[in-house]
Chain A
């Protein structure tokens, strides 16, 4: 239903109309069916000294040059115009393409806005009042000025998309349009840098640019007049009930809903009053027969069957009598039928007889039952007792969900309210919410009181004035006009009275007419400043420059495990202390915890390295790359067993790419190493852990042990509960400073992220949804996925599931002749999956080495040949399914990235062997001779996992102290000899404690 151009032109000033004419001409030239907002934009841009073009010029974003942006704008506009459907009527030359709905909506919006502007207000108000005498519905014609029209058109999503594609933001342009002459501002200036909410003029729309923000005064100075307030009477439930009644089946309406009672009463009133035009044709001359009172009396045993029977006969006769269009039998609330104390016999009688009425009524004349139930539950109870009632009574359920609009003076008129609403408008919080609105709430409470009293009086008044009726709300309007006038006058008096009382007693403290812009301030929002964090970060990093460099050198000199020890000391049982670690200084911030002695020792080296990584961020990457050996060493220290992967990564970093950033895909197992590597790169290349931005694209909720360990070390991690998408998060982070972006589980990326990443890898630019663009230069992107050819990583899942439990030492003496026979059985009993899963990777190794890995039950006493556990039961079949999973997107991304690195599986078998040897060695030290050691499968797994997570050094130390202590204890208790078998075992349930218990008890 497009609007003819002439009609639209009437709403515009001369200037605007000229633009519209031009737009219509453009549409006609292009043969389009309608004139849309896009045509308007095209026309606006083509004007000589176009204000839109000038506004755009002032808002250009800093990503591109103005000229480029205007080119892009023209391009995207013409593309969008090309997409518009062309006119079917071939000879569009003569015809003016009518104005499209969206454009008309924009015109109407600007009309409404303009009417609200203060300088126009009184004029329109007068005009409107004049109009009100003549006709009610039409809105006075407002001639839209060009400026307002532009702003409205910019709101059109199609238009803002066009501008967005060209890198403009329509809100900026709006601002520029409305505030001409402010040269070269940036939106952040206007929105306020200090706090996003305490800005002078909240979101930029027409009104607040002109308005001083004062609340409209009582006489309606600025208050918008609502022409429709008086005519809320319309209610279409009557029509809908009528529709049900006209049906062939299920024609007896059962109104269902909390407000069904009101609707029913209203409907019956209308029927009694002759129906008016509210009903469909075919329902005229209806009569209402009310049997609800008789039914409820009968059910509550106030009268007997005869009375009700007679009444129903009467109804039947009335229906037979004809002459009228039919009889509507009102049986009232179904709830009465299922209420307490209703005898089953009597209920049956009622249901049966009413049912007969319907059936009989169908034959004889027209009889409808009508009733209501407040909730479905009531109806459900009836259905349970009389399953066939729906058919017998021909019930058609009609949901009634809206109350009638309150009418007349029965609800407190707003004149009462307007006087004291202190804030521009708020929804007070639900009571349990802690809200800073204490003041406001008090007002509410007090005036609620007044309202209640006022309402009570009104109710009493209207009840007196009219005979008792279900709802006093409608009674006023039903009464004759004389009564109503009187009543209204009385109500008005009451209003004034309570108004005065309320003001005097409760509002005496003054009407604080807060300006609207202060609202957020009054509410005391805790506004998080976007910049705060980074400021702190940077000042921190400045402050600790020296410490950082020393830490860095520490990494390079000392083993990595030391570093992890300090940062992870929380997980290590307090009793166990490495000799050079003071737990009181240990905290998450390891920069400060480096023992001073170490720092001083390495200061020289540290400074040298710090020089290598010059602080200027822009070239820090290239500096690192200049010295790949340094980087290689720093990285390898963290992930010593992934030499090949580290080498190729460093090569990729050194090689450099044309676009100023590096993309690396890390495939395969060993997720922990990837994460460690990410951290190490952040530290080595950008000199702080904060430079690692971590996003897990699979959004898994449960955290494994590996994740928990890792998460404690990173400060920039995307959480789903953060507002905004992953892309927004990345854009925000990247706009601050270059970093290492770690995209975990990249294969699980959702389509939005997929698209963005592909775009980013190709153009090295990120765009968030509102068009903000950042360049991703000087960044390193690490994509991690577990997918890789023929590799499964169940061992890591096992690691994730391991929980720490306490350990004990059990000593027994081997008296049997053939100890090995015994132990083979034990071997079969439990198979640690860590070890079995290792089989595939270690299968190529020598048998002698493999055998220990393959057993869950390590025992030096077992002969090497005794391990018959198969090499690899796991077939390669799984790999095919894995491959099919990797979607085409990943393949495409793989083509674009600079390097794809496959990580080896972590070699648990070697680690296990090391642990075992170390335990055996420590026992040998204590006992002084060879005696058999067994490490139970679970205990072994626990230790190995600890070594995997925290590093070998910690476990070495642990064995050297805690386990050794246990052995010493055992030695004291039972004098160990070469025939004794010492067994390390877990006790108790798995629990959330450290993997390495603080002490090992002797049993």
Chain B
């Protein structure tokens, strides 16, 4: 199982060094999103890269619609990968949905992680009383139906919004990876994401966390970072990036690399 999973999810280990860094990509991208971050760390870290099962680079046949109904199945995948690679301690950098996955994995196996770095993390995307997640249920449903009606149009509209309009290369890259996903899988995964709510369990996280967030992010309001920091169970810090966009690793890699370096455990 372990070996075939490594193959199916295109697991790669690059770089050299004692410390292990796991880079987990978010929704709509694949491991190539870290391409521009890699060079900053590969000389002193061993970096584990993999694709989420929903990524366009993974054979869609592996996406089992009855298995990946909640994020726990993704967590199992992550833990399987780390076990198969015989990793017993690592630093985990997770973007968007992978930040969520990392949180859940650290609740399950706290000793496996010495630090979580959460980029663009939101415990809950929908608004609630006393909580501003950024979206109303109705808006989400609209998005879903737009996605269904014309996936391509949706991608073309969504990518510049998510990335930030001023970086065409990054928009192109994000559109590419987003469009590589099979639309039904994209929709299914977004539903999974929008249906998940981590607010109740943040207190269970004892691993130190760094929250990296951009100043303006269409999917994550700035207030969320403070919320997360206040509710996490362990030590945590917030790093705000003074840029726009949900994908700083695509749009401002240099800045993100600096912040990551700062956030890494000493």
Chain B residues lying within 8 Å of A232, measured Cβ to Cβ, are 69, 191
Q: Is the CB of B258 within 8 A of A205?
A: no
Chain B residues lying within 8 Å of A815, measured Cβ to Cβ, are none
Q: Is the CB of B258 within 8 A of A720?
A: yes
B198-228 residues at the A interface, CB under 8 angstroms: 198-204, 216, 218-219, 221
B132 at the binding interface (Cβ < 8 Å): yes
Interface string of B127-140 (1 = CB under 8 A from A): 01000101111110
State in angstroms the CA–CA spacing of A215 and B7 once bound together.
38
Q: Which residue of B lies closest to A447 (CB)?
A: B138
State in angstroms the CA–CA spacing of A513 and B141 once bound together.
18
Chain B residues lying within 8 Å of A751, measured Cβ to Cβ, are 39-40, 42-43
Q: Is the CB of A258 within 8 A of B200?
A: yes
Q: Is the CB of A208 within 8 A of B152?
A: yes
In the complex, the 7 A-B pairs of residues with the closest C-beta atoms, listed nearest first: A376-B203, A424-B153, A516-B153, A425-B146, A425-B154, A417-B145, A402-B70
Q: Is the CB of B150 within 8 A of A215?
A: yes
Q: Which residue of B lies closest to A445 (CB)?
A: B138
A373 at the binding interface (Cβ < 8 Å): yes
Contact of B104 among A101, A399, A722 (CB under 8 A): A399
State in angstroms the CA–CA spacing of A867 and B115 once bound together.
57
A375-389 residues at the B interface, CB under 8 angstroms: 375-377, 379-380
A108 at the binding interface (Cβ < 8 Å): yes
Q: Is the CB of A404 within 8 A of B184?
A: no
A14 at the binding interface (Cβ < 8 Å): no
Known contacts A236-B69, A425-B153, A750-B40; is-contact A399 B168 (Cβ 8 Å) = no
B169 at the binding interface (Cβ < 8 Å): yes
State in angstroms the CA–CA spacing of A426 and B146 once bound together.
8
Known contacts A105-B56, A376-B202; is-contact A723 B40 (Cβ 8 Å) = no
Q: Is the CB of B56 within 8 A of A109?
A: yes
Known contacts A373-B200, A376-B200; is-contact A516 B157 (Cβ 8 Å) = yes
State in angstroms the CA–CA spacing of A721 and B216 once bound together.
13
Q: Which of A525-533, A642-650, A667-675, A854-862 forms part of the interface with chain B?
A: A525-533
B195 at the binding interface (Cβ < 8 Å): yes
Known contacts A516-B156, A720-B255, A725-B36; is-contact A256 B201 (Cβ 8 Å) = yes
Q: Is the CB of A414 within 8 A of B144?
A: yes
B73 at the binding interface (Cβ < 8 Å): yes
In the complex, how many residue pairs between chain A and chain B have their CB atoms under 8 Å apart? Answer: 296
Q: Which of A22-30, A142-150, A218-226 forms part of the interface with chain B?
A: A218-226
CB distance from A452 to the nearest CB of B (A): 8
Chain A residues lying within 8 Å of B263, measured Cβ to Cβ, are none
Q: Which residue of A lies closest to B57 (CB)?
A: A105
Q: Which residue of B lies closest to A2 (CB)?
A: B7
Known contacts A216-B149, A403-B196, A405-B69; is-contact A525 B165 (Cβ 8 Å) = yes
Contact of B58 among A105, A196, A203, A403 (CB under 8 A): A105
Chain A residues lying within 8 Å of B195, measured Cβ to Cβ, are 259, 402-405
Q: Which residue of B lies closest to A207 (CB)?
A: B152
User: Taking chain B's interface residues, is the majority helix, strand, or loop, or is none over half, making it mixed?
Assistant: helix
Q: Is the CB of A424 within 8 A of B179?
A: no
Chain B residues lying within 8 Å of A526, measured Cβ to Cβ, are 165
Known contacts A412-B141, A414-B145; is-contact A224 B183 (Cβ 8 Å) = yes
Q: Is the CB of B10 within 8 A of A421?
A: no
Contact of B221 among A226, A374, A430, A752 (CB under 8 A): A430
Contact of A722 among B135, B161, B252 (CB under 8 A): B252
State in angstroms the CA–CA spacing of A215 and B176 once bound together.
20
Interface string of A234-265 (1 = CB under 8 A from B): 11110010000000000000001111100000
Chain B residues lying within 8 Å of A721, measured Cβ to Cβ, are 241-243, 252, 255
Chain A residues lying within 8 Å of B149, measured Cβ to Cβ, are 215-216, 222-223, 418, 421, 424-425
Q: Which residue of A lies closest to B64 (CB)?
A: A234
Q: Is the CB of A423 within 8 A of B146?
A: yes
Chain A residues lying within 8 Å of B121, measured Cβ to Cβ, are none
A–B pairs, 27, beta carbons within 8 Å: A105-B57, A108-B59, A108-B61, A157-B57, A223-B150, A234-B65, A235-B69, A240-B72, A256-B200, A257-B200, A397-B204, A399-B200, A399-B204, A402-B71, A417-B144, A423-B157, A425-B143, A425-B153, A425-B154, A427-B218, A430-B132, A433-B216, A519-B157, A724-B169, A750-B40, A751-B39, A751-B40
Chain A residues lying within 8 Å of B8, measured Cβ to Cβ, are 1, 101
State in angstroms the CA–CA spacing of A58 and B144 once bound together.
39
Interface string of B154-173 (1 = CB under 8 A from A): 11111111101111111110
A182-227 residues at the B interface, CB under 8 angstroms: 191, 196-197, 202-203, 205, 207-208, 211, 213, 215-216, 222-224, 226-227
Q: Is the CB of A401 within 8 A of B176?
A: no
Q: Is the CB of A424 within 8 A of B198?
A: no
Q: Which residue of A lies closest to B219 (CB)?
A: A427
Q: Which residue of B lies closest to A107 (CB)?
A: B59
CB distance from B173 to the nearest CB of A (A): 9
Q: Is the CB of A234 within 8 A of B166?
A: no
A451 at the binding interface (Cβ < 8 Å): yes
Chain B residues lying within 8 Å of A64, measured Cβ to Cβ, are none
State in angstroms the CA–CA spacing of A422 and B179 once bound together.
21
Q: Is the CB of A234 within 8 A of B69?
A: yes
State in angstroms the CA–CA spacing of A234 and B71 once bound together.
13
Q: Which residue of A lies closest to B255 (CB)?
A: A720
Residue among B201, B216, B219, B257 having the largest count of chain A Cβ atoms under 10 Å: B201
Q: Is the CB of B35 within 8 A of A257?
A: no
Chain B residues lying within 8 Å of A104, measured Cβ to Cβ, are 59
Chain A residues lying within 8 Å of B27, measured Cβ to Cβ, are none
Chain A residues lying within 8 Å of B204, measured Cβ to Cβ, are 256, 376, 397, 399
Please report the total number of B residues contacting A with Cβ < 8 Å: 105
Interface string of A500-538 (1 = CB under 8 A from B): 000000000000000011011001011110000000000
Interface string of B65-81 (1 = CB under 8 A from A): 11101111100000000
Q: Is the CB of A228 within 8 A of B57?
A: no
Q: Is the CB of B160 within 8 A of A430?
A: no
State in angstroms the CA–CA spacing of A114 and B158 once bound together.
22
Chain A residues lying within 8 Å of B254, measured Cβ to Cβ, are 720, 724-726
Contact of A417 among B142, B175, B201, B218 (CB under 8 A): B142
B46-93 residues at the A interface, CB under 8 angstroms: 56-61, 65-67, 69-73
Q: Is the CB of B168 within 8 A of A519?
A: no
Interface string of A151-178 (1 = CB under 8 A from B): 0000111000000000000010000000
Chain B residues lying within 8 Å of A215, measured Cβ to Cβ, are 149-150, 153
A102 at the binding interface (Cβ < 8 Å): yes
A303 at the binding interface (Cβ < 8 Å): no
B229 at the binding interface (Cβ < 8 Å): no
Q: Is the CB of A211 within 8 A of B152?
A: yes
Q: Is the CB of B184 within 8 A of A424?
A: no
A485 at the binding interface (Cβ < 8 Å): no
Q: Which residue of A lies closest to B42 (CB)?
A: A751
CB distance from B198 to the nearest CB of A (A): 5
State in angstroms the CA–CA spacing of A211 and B138 once bound together.
29
Known contacts A256-B200, A448-B136, A720-B254; is-contact A752 B175 (Cβ 8 Å) = no
A141 at the binding interface (Cβ < 8 Å): no
Known contacts A205-B176, A414-B141; is-contact A257 B197 (Cβ 8 Å) = yes
Q: Which residue of A lies closest to B204 (CB)?
A: A376
Known contacts A720-B258, A723-B166; is-contact A525 B184 (Cβ 8 Å) = no
A965-979 residues at the B interface, CB under 8 angstroms: none
Known contacts A405-B191, A448-B136, A520-B165; is-contact A380 B203 (Cβ 8 Å) = yes
A291-323 residues at the B interface, CB under 8 angstroms: none
A429 at the binding interface (Cβ < 8 Å): yes
Chain A residues lying within 8 Å of B59, measured Cβ to Cβ, are 101, 104-105, 108
CB distance from A102 to the nearest CB of B (A): 7
A891 at the binding interface (Cβ < 8 Å): no
State in angstroms the CA–CA spacing of A936 and B259 once bound together.
43
Chain B residues lying within 8 Å of A655, measured Cβ to Cβ, are none
State in angstroms the CA–CA spacing of A429 and B195 once bound together.
20
Chain B residues lying within 8 Å of A397, measured Cβ to Cβ, are 204
CB distance from B59 to the nearest CB of A (A): 5
A479 at the binding interface (Cβ < 8 Å): no
